[in-house]
Amino acid sequence: MAMHHNIPISIANIVIELRSPRSAAELGIEQRLGPFFGVTPQPAARVVLHWEESADAPVPRGALIYDPGSIWRMYRDGDEFSAAITYHDEHQPAQMHSVLRANAAWNDVTLTEQRSVPAGRGTQWQSALNIGAGELLLRTAMLFTDGLVFHASGIDDHGHGIVFVGHSGAGKSTQACLWIEEPGVIAMNDDRVAVRVNAQTAMCYGTPWGGTANIARNHAAPLRAIILLEQAPENQIEQLTPAVAAPLLLARTFLPYWDAPLMQRALVNLNTILARTPFFRLRCRPEKAVIPLVRAAL
């Protein structure tokens, strides 16, 4: 009988129960996802993730419904979604092909991958869980738990979570690196931060996918504020109303454009977050003088 591995992965208080005939080492996920291995008490959701291997490039089911022109495309067959992921690694001799299939609730998922080991390259094959498949699964599962994933960096400043949202180049990694030098500050992530706000709590979470500073820590903190970063010649911070903040935050949110009901969930979650969390715009230079400015505003 073939051995099966049950690998629990906990990200943003969502437990992903990975069931695979191959070990974490064989999947090549230990380095990126290893810090998130394990269970969490009272998770917000549980997702069962079945991993299977295909000799040929797996084929998605259904009709193409969304093509962002990057490494993946979304298909739909009835109530089932299929994300076709094609990823090219310069260290690998060929493209890697994967299909992530999910039910409507995104809590029963199958990842089918064409697993090829590079010959003579000294590089181990790695599952798409390390990249697009893992990110897409978390982003969508968060929608069912009153949460969203933002293009953001996040820090824990003495027990206060601060999330800096921004497009690429806005200074998210710079802020994480500036703050981490301060005593009592923990940098959670410099590119992908999960946020969940419900009736009881408001929390922000590090995820496994860091940015240019490669900060990706398994850490959570009570959410104190969300701050929009903009580069400017002078440092200035101002609080914005939810009505002004909503389109600014929406543009820096990973959204499920492929499905109208999921988009509606995302918009409801966004409005809930803004109703419960102060939102600021920070125009600044990349310098440590920003830190006391932000602390004073909060």
Final residue of a structural domain among 119, 143, 167: 143
Reported as a single tens digit per residue, the pLDDT across 211-225 is 888 999 999 999 999
- Are residues 196 and 101 both part of a single domain? no
pLDDT number for residue 70: 78
- Are residues 160 and 251 both part of a single domain? yes
The type of residue at 160 is H
pLDDT number for residue 84: 94
- Are residues 13 and 109 both part of a single domain? yes
* pLDDT band at 71; cut points 50, 70, 90: confident
Q: Is the pLDDT of residue 90 over 80?
A: no
What's phi and psi for 96, nearest 5 deg?
-100, 135
Maximum Cα–Cα distance across the chain: 66
Q: What is the DSSP letter of 37?
A: B
Cα separation, 238 vs 258, whole angstroms:
34
What's phi and psi for 70, nearest 5 deg?
-115, -130
In the chain the beta strands, taken as DSSP E runs, fall at 5-11, 14-20, 45-54, 63-66, 72-77, 80-87, 96-102, 108-114, 147-157, 160-165, 185-189, 192-197, 202-206, 220-231, 236-240, 279-284
pLDDT number for residue 198: 81
pLDDT number for residue 128: 92
pLDDT number for residue 88: 59
Cα separation, 71 vs 246, whole angstroms:
28
- Are residues 174 and 136 both part of a single domain? no
- Are residues 269 and 174 both part of a single domain? yes
Identify whether the C-beta of residue 8 lies closer than 8 Å to the C-beta of residue 108: no
Residue 201 or 287, more confident = 287
Final residue of a structural domain among 122, 143, 164: 143
The residues pairing with 112 across neighbouring beta strands, listed in sequence order, are 52, 99
- Are residues 243 and 264 both part of a single domain? yes
Q: Is the pLDDT of residue 124 over 80?
A: no
pTM of model > 0.95: no
- Are residues 161 and 292 both part of a single domain? yes
- Are residues 43 and 117 both part of a single domain? yes
- Are residues 222 and 282 both part of a single domain? yes
Would you call 19 exposed, middle or buried from its count of C-beta atoms within 10 A (0-12, 13-18, 19+)? Answer: middle
* pLDDT band at 86; cut points 50, 70, 90: confident
204-210: average pLDDT: 97
Domain range enclosing 239: 148-297
Would you call 120 exposed, middle or buried from its count of C-beta atoms within 10 A (0-12, 13-18, 19+)? Answer: exposed
Q: Is the pLDDT of residue 133 over 90?
A: yes
Q: Average model confidence (pLDDT) for the chain?
A: 92
pLDDT number for residue 161: 97
- Are residues 88 and 216 both part of a single domain? no
pLDDT number for residue 1: 45
Reported as a single tens digit per residue, the pLDDT across 158-196 is 999 999 998 888 899 999 999 999 999 999 999 999 999
- Are residues 135 and 97 both part of a single domain? yes
Which CATH number do you get for residue 165?
3.90.228.20
Total of domains in the chain: 2
Final residue of a structural domain among 90, 120, 143: 143
- Are residues 173 and 130 both part of a single domain? no
